[in-house]
Amino acid sequence: MTSGDQDKIMCFNMKYPEKSLILAARDIRYLLEQGYPKSSAIRFVGDHYGLEKSRRYILSRNVLAPDVASARNRKRVPCTCIRDRHILIDGYNVLITLESYLKGEEIWIGDDGFIRDNRGIFRSHVNDKDTFRSAGLMLSLLRANAAGEITVILDRQMSMSGQLAMAIRQQMAETGVRGQVITSGSTDHDLKKARSCDIVASADEVIIDAVVEVIDIPACIISGDQHSWKSLYSLGSVQPDQQEIQKAKEDNTDK
């Protein structure tokens, strides 16, 4: 979390989840650093702490090996450094996170500094007033920071993606933001083909790993809201209790 945007967020009093989730995140980081596969580490630690599926989902999206977290964080571009740059936007990834923020639902700062939601809705997503308000916030941010042309890519298989594309085009025309909105059957592939001079807006780990520079639009917006702490959570980053990990391994072996 080295960017100015994250520094602003960290100034607020973020919430922290139950102790078992923080301890689980700590232990998973340790196991990942030792080379354990992520799925195995989450299953092993999740079983040890008796975590339900939804809490394991949070861990899978936000807990990373320290070297991976650092590498992704280094790709972050501050909101104020996008003047005249072409921005490729992972539409639903950005908008669903902003929706969660507007609805007061849980959002999380991952180990890599990127903000993610915990709704896991994707294919079941339905456009509502917060969807269109999120699009407006996104465009206002890009306009305020003098972004160059933008390309918003929406997953074609999502319900009413065509309707959303039309609405965003209209908002772009009204706000003077230059660019295009397209629907695609292969959004991830399109984003991963970004040119080295492009900035990609996404918190999808697969996309972050594949591109050169990334902007976290929800973080840029949330950093300007002094009330963001109401729904912003962190899993912290503390040293693992290796005695507890060893005991868990022994317990698992005895089963």
Q: Which domain holds residue 135?
A: 4-254
Distance, in Å, from the CA atom of 180 to the CA atom of 233, rounded to the nearest integer, reads 33
Which of 220, 228, 223, 212 has its CA nearest to residue 79?
220
Other beta carbons within 10 Å of 171? 17
**Residue 136 belongs to a domain with what CATH number?**
3.40.50
> What is the pLDDT at residue 48?
96
> What is the pLDDT at residue 125?
86
> What is the pLDDT at residue 7?
45
pLDDT digits (tens, 9 = 90+) for 149-171: 999 999 999 989 999 999 999 99
More confident residue, 41 or 230: 41
> What is the pLDDT at residue 232?
86
Where is 144: in which H helix or E strand? helix 129-144
Q: What percent of the chain lies above the pLDDT cut of 90? A: 74
More confident residue, 169 or 13: 169
Total tally of structural domains belonging to the chain: 1
Indicate whether 52 pLDDT > 90. yes
Report the chain's mean pLDDT, rounded to a whole number: 87
Residue type, 248: A
pLDDT digits (tens, 9 = 90+) for 108-130: 999 999 999 987 776 678 899 99
Global pTM exceeds 0.95: no
Sole residue written with tokens 């890009």: 142
Per-residue pLDDT, averaged over 71-76, amounts to 96
pLDDT digits (tens, 9 = 90+) for 184-239: 999 999 999 999 999 999 999 999 999 999 999 999 998 877 666 568 888 875 44
> What is the pLDDT at residue 57?
94
Where is 199: in which H helix or E strand? strand 199-201
pLDDT digits (tens, 9 = 90+) for 169-182: 999 999 999 999 99
Q: Name the strands in the sheet holding 232-234, side by side, starting at the edge strand that comes first in the sequence.
A: 115-117, 107-109, 232-234
Q: Which residues contact 118 (CB under 8 A, 6 or more apart)?
A: 54, 57, 58, 61, 100, 105, 106, 107, 108
